[in-house]
Chains A and B, each alone.
Chain A
Amino acid sequence: GAVVSQHPSRVICKSGTSVKIECRSLDFQATTMFWYRQFPKQSLMLMATSNEGSKATYEQGVEKDKFLINHASLTLSTLTVTSAHPEDSSFYICSARSLGGGYTFGSGTRLTVV
């Protein structure tokens, strides 16, 4: 079946540095990729939607200059958290939608900013 590889699974970084999270569709082409943030005991909150080759569409309240999304190919999207602060600590999950319309999720990245 469709597989999405997300890494790193865990990352600890110092406040003020930037962190890049990668999301790859391994055996299918992802026309659209989604980035979510999951808080403890909370739902997945959609941060942005990206289509290959075009700028990402950010949800209301999400800072596009802080959360940089690149979707340069049909199999790779990246999320870069710039100038990270402790409040950015969270669980980030990507999801890829295939041409057939199905959604496949990555296993998530636990970001801790110290």
Chain B
Amino acid sequence: GNSVTQMEGPVTLSEEAFLTINCTYTATGYPSLFWYVQYPGEGLQLLLKATKADDKGSNKGFEATYRKETTSFHLEKGSVQVSDSAVYFCALRERTQGGSEKLVFGKGTKLTVNP
């Protein structure tokens, strides 16, 4: 079946540092790809998405490009802030033959940004 692999954390950075969280996927076809963020004590929130190859999703200074050649969707931010501390999940949307769909998640990467 489809799967998502993302770099294991935790990741600890200083404020204004550059962030990369790697994500690769295994899937048949070209699924839509997502990054979700989970702040402490809260549910998951959609951070950004890309629905086809070479699409770039962006939001709040974060970016990720859908690379079909490398089956990757790495998350980047040029200058992180303390408020970016959270757990980040990479996910793909899988459609079944029956017509239903579901999200398949990576294990999550915890990011801590220190002042």
A positions within 8 Å CB-CB of B: 4, 6, 32, 34, 41-44, 46, 49, 57, 93, 95, 102-103, 105-108
Q: In the complex, A34 Cα to B44 Cα: how many Å?
A: 13
> Is B57's CB within 8 Å of the partner chain A?
no
Q: Which A-B residue pairs are the 4 nearest by beta carbons? A: A105-B43, A105-B44, A107-B43, A43-B107
Given contacts A42-B107, A105-B36, 4 further A-B contacts (CB under 8 A): A43-B106, A43-B108, A57-B100, A105-B43
B positions within 8 Å CB-CB of A: 4, 36, 41-46, 89, 100, 102-108
Contacts A43-B89, A43-B108, A44-B89 given; indicate if A103 touches B43 (C-beta within 8 A): no
Is A108 in contact with B106, judged by CB distance below 8 angstroms? no
How far, in Å, is B2 (CB) from chain A's closest CB? Answer: 12
Q: In the complex, A103 Cα to B32 Cα: how many Å?
A: 13
Question: What residue in chain B is nearest A59 (Cβ atoms)?
Answer: B102
Is A106 in contact with B105, judged by CB distance below 8 angstroms? no
How far, in Å, is A33 (CB) from chain B's closest CB? Answer: 12
Is B43 in contact with A106, judged by CB distance below 8 angstroms? yes
